Amino acid sequence: MNETAVASAAIAGSVAHDLTVWGLFLQADLVVKIVMIMLVLASVWCWAIIFEKLLKMKRLMRQAEEFEEGFWSGGSLEDLYDRIGDRPTHPMASIFTAAMREWRRSASRGLSDVAAKAGLAQRIERVMHVTLGREMDGLEKNMTFLASVGSTAPFIGLFGTVWGIMNSFQAIAQSKDTSLAVVAPGIAEALFATALGLVAAIPAVVAYNKISTDLGRYAARLESFSNEFTAILSRQFEEDG
């Protein structure tokens, strides 16, 4: 056996890689390991956000239905406001309490003319609009992270892939051997980084689209409630006038 064959056999023996998921991680280059860890952490955080958002949207829809049932039941709005108090538990109740608080504050000072009532109506409308925007900003928290992971994770995984393939070419140059025993481990590690990028990105993109649609529908529901409540208050002003 010549020296080249001996060297190739030694290298092949020394690179008896474990091609399991854990083995590919342990045997990867430091840069590829960092990429893998980043992608795994991003994926875990994405799933935490996804479950939190889905459960929260389900709860908010149920609370909105219960609130609207009480709101349109024909009971006194003052009594409803007193039951909710200063601690509303969901955005629709927050919009309602903000409007009622402004109503009571202005009514306590008296509404002597039409101009004062028109000004109050405008203030109530602005208060509901501001409250709606603030509540939606809170609901949309962490959505940017989902979008960022969905758009960047494949490229981060691709960077790990390129780095791993570069290591494979270096192994070929050092061993002067192009057999699969030399190049396969590095290529496997590289492709594993790509797979992790896709594992992080695909759920993030799907969830982002789903949750964004749900948030849009919920925002439209809040906007519709605000408009209907504004109409009710306008009719009340006319009756009082």
Q: Burial, 101: exposed, middle or buried (Cβ in 10 Å; 0-12, 13-18, 19+)? A: middle
17-31, 87-101, 176-190, 202-216, range with greatest mean pLDDT: 202-216
If one counts every other C-beta atom within 10 angstroms of the C-beta of residue 156, the result is 21
Q: Can you tell me the mean pLDDT for 197-221?
A: 95
Q: Which residue has the tokens 């083995």?
A: 23
pLDDT > 90 fraction of the chain, expressed in percent and rounded: 41
pLDDT in tens, 90-105: 999 999 998 888 887 7
Exposure class string for 34-63: b at 16+ Cβ within 10 A, else e: ebbebbeebbebbeebbeebeeebeebeeb
pLDDT of residue 8: 43
Here the tokens at position 169 are 């070419």
> Which range is least confidently modeled, 39-43, 47-51, 108-112, 193-197?
108-112
Question: How far are the Cα atoms of 9, 70, 115, 203, 206 from residue 74, in angstroms, in the given order?
Answer: 87, 8, 29, 44, 41
pLDDT digits (tens, 9 = 90+) for 30-56: 888 888 899 999 999 999 999 999 999
What pLDDT is stored for residue 64 in this prediction?
A: 92
User: Could you tell me which of 117, 66, 116 has the C-alpha nearest to residue 96?
Assistant: 66
pLDDT at 172 over 50: yes
pLDDT band at 5 (very low <50, low <70, confident <90, very high): very low
Angstrom distance (rounded) from CA 169 to CA 191: 15
CB atoms within 10 A of CB 14: 9
What is the longest distance spanned by two Cα atoms in the chain?
Answer: 109
- pLDDT tens readout for residues 114-169: 566 667 778 888 999 999 999 999 999 999 999 999 999 999 999 888 888 887 77
- Calculate mean pLDDT across residues 212-231: 92
pLDDT value, residue 124: 85
Q: Is the pLDDT of residue 198 over 70?
A: yes
pLDDT of 227 higher than 80: yes
pLDDT, average across residues 9-27: 58
175 residue type, one letter: S
